[in-house]
Structure 1
């Protein structure tokens, strides 16, 4: 509970002290509007919205209506955020499984994002748009009554969204809307590091540079902005997705099996609903279609990556490269963090420390040992750099409302400007910078855009002429615009918390620190800073009424805008399939970038929570995602690093990344614990065996749906499956049960378990042992591979005939692992292309025409004389498939059922491999039981 009198007492005392020592000579203390408090007085006595009239109704169930505010008898006006008195409600049926509920001011003049590219928008899909075919039904209050809206699933009457018995507040800078949440579990509402099943709590949504774990306390969100959730109706086991299409900062108060409340600092009430069935993947695909899908990454980026902030010169890069080659550790890319830059300035290389000849040797892909160069580009542009000079000429930087000049912040190179990615010149400016990096004889194959929340080492901005009094006034006036609510929360963390003053008279800097008070512009830009406001040339937004968009409007879109600019620049630089690793993302970012989970610590908890984070980003539409293997910060122990390497071997994006201040954690540095190196090599060999299988899942999905999934995704009827959050599925084929807790250091082993869902059976990937439903426990040595299982009834194609250290050396020859179910049947799919390394080959055959996928069907039966016969059929998924030559030179049949027993058989076809080069092929083979 916030003690307001305590705050006032402390602040009054503080100002009195400052006045007493002569720092402040006069200060008229009337009231201090601390973020998060003004709204409390308003809602205590606030009135309500009444349904005034129905404007229109359509046969498909769509309608519009007018609401009017009925003022409460003791209502206290919010001076900084007056109530919007009249509103328009719109309910629109977009398809029989997709609809939109929206509340705006009557003229729809408030800042909102358009419903077209690059933002999510409704696609025209075949749908019988009559009310009788809708999967949903609605109910609203009667004219003259207090307004409410309810959306239900027609078949089960489950409530999907309902404001009945909950208030709606719509003021200029504070909106509140609540929905019922009975008999449900939800997943999402990110970006945050927490369990996959969302627990009761208060969750902020505001992009931040932070490495927090979120326990339901406000202000613990991290880099991205994804106000969507997947909801499961527990009673009927049905799924749907709700997106709150509002990009302003917000806090979501969630009480399990009760309600969910949005508290937002601007915009409109705008919800999109995607309603499917008992398969969560179907709802997610509807959502991904709306947010414009996700892009395919180049094949090489599926390989393993090594990175560190702390490779301070090219000699250190050479040492890492040589050691990886010496120990035969598979990897495809060696990254450079900010170390490689000249004075940390973007688009530069410090040639005194980084010898270009050495770098050209490492990144020479014509050399069998050569790897891809991936490097970081921060968003802050150093004031004394060539890029800053060009940016000022092009007028592309965000403008300060205080100075009417380019806003100045502070990041790694010191004082910096920040590009305004809404400015029409910003894309060309960004392209020119990235092109400069390609002029040194090496090329960025992977582009890493970081600090793009935007992260700033000072709150708001640096204003050299601002007096100390103005700094104090600015702090307690909150930010401009003054906000009645702080979505980052305000609270007393303990009884002894105090305010502290930090003064530096030489530079006239002032900073107020309080443990329970976090400014909303903490480590980012001033909210009143200005963006481009042209009428028709804005990259992200065009002002139709002269409105000048600010960071207040754009903050959660910063990373989104930079992602688009980087994507366009990469394409202009000739990259066909782009690999752009972005820390900050928003709804729809997957159309342009990939992602990793950001900064974390080298602990068991952070390793464990990487799994739900990757699952979340698969839901958010950025499935090529991973975590810093072994952790970025802190001292990674040998055991943590070994287990993390095992887990990370099946991350979609797999990279070991370390911090400048932490000890080295490359797999070969743990000399006293050789199991780290041996385990890493073994588990990465498995990754490379599966690399083309893994990649084919991305190609087959065609930009919609998930790849790295929770266990319940495939077994939604099994309530137990929801409790095993560290097990995960790769597609619908493989299940992993990583070890994410410490073991016995003496025995160098960990007691671990795997859960097999009800009615299912899985087979160990390595020794083909069958596991039926229930929990199975075993010892997993530290020197081990990731516990991995194949689902019964699936065909998985692998490449296990040679040890490959680079993805580009994988050939077109495969082993089929045919895992038969109880009926001796299995199915799978694979690609028909023979060269995954040429982007043009993938694009022309797999993306543009989507015609490079074949389906495999195997049926086995026991014939006379105990001869088990298998028929394998090949069938194209679409017409006119392009067939390049694929070879099958080994078969591993697992789970052949005969005489009440299960059998395995390996058949080598080396001398006469099967050739897949056309449609409707059939292969037959048999073996003796």
Structure 2
């Protein structure tokens, strides 16, 4: 690459257009283009300059129902309409203005995206590979080195903010920095401004004043999002590949954008209930006896637990799909003993296979030509945890099917879930070279693809194979897969955690915007290592993190072998009692959290939501990332500093109730609240029905008994909500229990509609006592909380009591 002449950017220009059955085609001297409306409220813009890219397929996007397009031209501007939505194009030079009725109309601003250009010099990290390691260049079959790329320039506005891009360091608003979309394993622990990290999501939720839309770049090549860095007057979205393929998604609010985006790239399947329980993991559970002791200690100390995880300690010489024959000689017996206590077993799988003759996975992959190769044809060899390693090529269906079959050694032993790690893919070295970003050379070959094109897909395709393995090998039970790396589409197969964080107050706080960024990128089930992975935790930090983690979608305590142990009891009292209370809160909230999981499955709404998701018209809520909403009914404002005694909380308009004391607060203002170690600042939103239950040692069924309904009427006395109920696992159908009611000074009137009630159960209504209940004796008052108990034995339960 040294001395290469870089071609000056070529601005996209179009001379002609025509309407076809699939959209509107654009023709120019250098570029061709097509505009489609693949779904209601969504436009696709595809630009290319190689003939073979005219029918470019997507690795990610689901085929939807194409919408009709109409086109009108005036003075060099092409106006495209699809239903209520409008896209305006300038043809020479190319520019896009996205408006439409739901976004506020092109006349009132919209988002202007001018200047798609063929550019040079965007491949700095690839250049470094080529120059330092003398590996061959990668070409995109058009005579131009990969990394020449295409770019889209965005004229900036002071009123604009950007959210999404997956799990990133920094603020919730991505404006002001450069971001690289390239799955990367950083040196742990990652720093507060490190980029890129494990997750690569080229999706932006864009706010222009109070209006929202989405932009998804459907390119698997490395891409760069330079979002008004250092106050620049324009932003740049660039891809190293030979096409520019992006989707514009209408609002008007974040919920509608995420609903449309998730329909485009896929939504998660319903998880097993146990996945929402409390999980315990440590790199350092060196034998089966240790695992049994950890489970027994949770039960002895009355700390709920649903899963224990096996890190690489369980393997024979770090070989995936094996158990050490001495330390884990009877894995089925271990899994059976845990299952008898209601505890599931989850095992780690790394894609780097030890290059050892006699190791089944290696022998088969080599014999069947299933491995990634270097351009000259040799198998790509490097180092990873097992030593000398090779890596499967997951772009091929037959390789994924074979990989799925290897999981049989785990599932036959009773393993219930799979943990995919090191799948960026991460290496220690390749072909004798220390690798840039711990990755592979861009010229490595995956069948017909260069690694530069499919690197970002590696984790998605591996997790697909694991998901399909669990589906086939554990019939009647829902798959559970966790991944470190990912790209859009990962949410269809796996949950995500934020990777190798540290036991620090900084990473405690930073977990919130990282997880919210994933949530706003279509990844619903996310979590961070509670207590921190590297370094030593302490009782106060673990306590605060467990309270916060009780509201993560995924709740797992995890640490590395060189750190202090940080199980719930590790630091003694009073910390053990505080951690126990936090985990028990999680189990009280399970009916509500499980219902949020169902919402994610049905309409793409993430369980973990930034304030702007629920309050898109409230400018005070837009930047907040140290408080958040688990669903629409709860607001969480955790303590995030050592020895913190109090903190400020912003309550949006409406009434809010302290979850613990029942104290009411009027919203639309900031308040200061105490932050005791034995609780979590938690507020219930007026008008809500918050579904709870009694904590248990582990999950069992999502037919909730008892079903506790916390009621907080709005200003008009109304309450409403719903609760998802099913068996908690398997394919049996479930249903929403709908709750509607009125609470005023005279009494309470409430109805529960539960289609196909599976069993009689107790329903407990819980609210601040407006007065004694007249004409009934099935109620109590405790510390100001009125609890009314009724038996539900039919699909409809009506409650009418007077105060």
Rounded Cα–Cα distance in structure 2 between residues aligned with 1:230 and 1:132:
22
Corresponding residue for 2:294?
Answer: 320
Q: Is residue 458 of structure 2 the alignment partner of residue 570 of structure 1?
A: no
Alignment partner of 2:457 out of 543, 557, 560: 557
Q: Is residue 215 of structure 2 the alignment partner of residue 252 of structure 1?
A: no
Corresponding residue for 1:78?
Answer: none
Deviations 1:403-442 (CA, angstroms, capped at 9, x unpaired): x232111110101110111233313321232102234xx3
Q: Is residue 259 of structure 2 the alignment partner of residue 285 of structure 1?
A: yes
Q: Is residue 398 of structure 2 the alignment partner of residue 428 of structure 1?
A: no
Q: Is residue 593 of structure 2 the alignment partner of residue 694 of structure 1?
A: yes
Alignment partner of 1:341 out of 300, 312, 315: 315
Rounded Cα–Cα distance in structure 1 between residues aligned with 2:769 and 2:257:
33
Deviation at 1:691?
1.0
Corresponding residue for 1:204?
Answer: 180
TM (norm. structure 2) is 0.88
- Sort the Cα spacing of 1:456 and 1:832 in 2 relative to 1 into closer, same or farther, 3 A: closer
Alignment partner of 1:64 out of 1, 25, 39: 25
The answer on whether the counterparts of 2:164 and 2:204 sit within 8 Å (CA) in structure 1 is yes
Corresponding residue for 1:540?
Answer: none
Rounded Cα–Cα distance in structure 2 between residues aligned with 1:772 and 1:449:
46
Deviations 1:687-729 (CA, angstroms, capped at 9, x unpaired): 1011122102212443422111011211122111123211111
Q: What is the DSSP-based 3-state SS (H/G/I as helix, E as strand, rest coil) of the residue aligned with 1:343?
A: coil
Counterparts of residues 679-828 of structure 1 (less than 5 Å): 679-703=578-602, 704-743=604-643, 750-757=645-652, 759-773=653-667, 774-782=669-677, 784-800=678-694, 803-808=695-700, 812-828=705-721
Corresponding residue for 1:354?
Answer: 328
Corresponding residue for 1:120?
Answer: 61
Deviation at 1:138?
3.4
Q: What is the DSSP-based 3-state SS (H/G/I as helix, E as strand, rest coil) of the residue aligned with 1:719?
A: coil
The answer on whether the counterparts of 1:427 and 1:568 sit within 8 Å (CA) in structure 2 is no
Rounded Cα–Cα distance in structure 1 between residues aligned with 2:398 and 2:36:
37
Q: Is residue 795 of structure 2 the alignment partner of residue 918 of structure 1?
A: yes
Rounded Cα–Cα distance in structure 2 between residues aligned with 1:351 and 1:583:
28
Rounded Cα–Cα distance in structure 2 between residues aligned with 1:167 and 1:438:
50
The answer on whether the counterparts of 1:135 and 1:275 sit within 8 Å (CA) in structure 2 is no
Deviation at 1:904?
9.6
Ranges in structure 2 where 5+ consecutive residues have no aligned partner: 72-79, 121-143, 773-781
Rounded Cα–Cα distance in structure 2 between residues aligned with 1:339 and 1:215:
29
Rounded Cα–Cα distance in structure 1 between residues aligned with 2:433 and 2:553:
45
Q: Is residue 89 of structure 2 the alignment partner of residue 140 of structure 1?
A: yes
The answer on whether the counterparts of 2:741 and 2:751 sit within 8 Å (CA) in structure 1 is yes
Corresponding residue for 2:723?
Answer: 830
Aligned residue pairs, count: 748
Rounded Cα–Cα distance in structure 1 between residues aligned with 2:84 and 2:334:
60
The answer on whether the counterparts of 2:281 and 2:557 sit within 8 Å (CA) in structure 1 is yes
Rounded Cα–Cα distance in structure 2 between residues aligned with 1:395 and 1:330:
46
- Sort the Cα spacing of 1:325 and 1:233 in 2 relative to 1 into closer, same or farther, 3 A: same
The answer on whether the counterparts of 2:11 and 2:118 sit within 8 Å (CA) in structure 1 is yes
Counterparts of residues 70-89 of structure 1 (less than 5 Å): 86-89=30-33
Alignment partner of 1:622 out of 516, 523, 528: 523
Corresponding residue for 1:150?
Answer: 97
- Sort the Cα spacing of 1:428 and 1:165 in 2 relative to 1 into closer, same or farther, 3 A: closer
Corresponding residue for 1:856?
Answer: 739
Rounded Cα–Cα distance in structure 1 between residues aligned with 2:593 and 2:70:
38
Q: Is residue 759 of structure 2 the alignment partner of residue 885 of structure 1?
A: yes
Deviation at 1:808?
1.9
Corresponding residue for 2:733?
Answer: 845
Deviations 1:336-363 (CA, angstroms, capped at 9, x unpaired): 1000000011111112122527x73564
Corresponding residue for 2:151?
Answer: 176
Corresponding residue for 1:109?
Answer: 53
Ranges in structure 1 where 5+ consecutive residues have no aligned partner: 1-30, 69-85, 463-508, 512-518, 533-547, 744-748, 847-851, 863-867
The answer on whether the counterparts of 2:267 and 2:600 sit within 8 Å (CA) in structure 1 is no
Rounded Cα–Cα distance in structure 2 between residues aligned with 1:396 and 1:346:
16
Deviation at 1:127?
7.9
Alignment partner of 1:222 out of 197, 207, 212: 197
The answer on whether the counterparts of 1:821 and 1:895 sit within 8 Å (CA) in structure 2 is no
The answer on whether the counterparts of 2:323 and 2:329 sit within 8 Å (CA) in structure 1 is no
Report the aligned-residue RMSD.
Answer: 2.8
Rounded Cα–Cα distance in structure 1 between residues aligned with 2:542 and 2:466:
33
The answer on whether the counterparts of 1:456 and 1:525 sit within 8 Å (CA) in structure 2 is yes
Corresponding residue for 1:162?
Answer: 112
Deviations 1:513-542 (CA, angstroms, capped at 9, x unpaired): xxxxxx7x531222222122xxxxxxxxxx
Larger Rg over CA atoms: 1
Q: What is the DSSP-based 3-state SS (H/G/I as helix, E as strand, rest coil) of the residue aligned with 2:511?
A: helix
Rounded Cα–Cα distance in structure 2 between residues aligned with 1:755 and 1:529:
51
Q: What is the DSSP-based 3-state SS (H/G/I as helix, E as strand, rest coil) of the residue aligned with 1:669?
A: coil
Corresponding residue for 2:123?
Answer: none
Corresponding residue for 1:379?
Answer: 351
Corresponding residue for 2:16?
Answer: 54
- Sort the Cα spacing of 1:317 and 1:95 in 2 relative to 1 into closer, same or farther, 3 A: closer
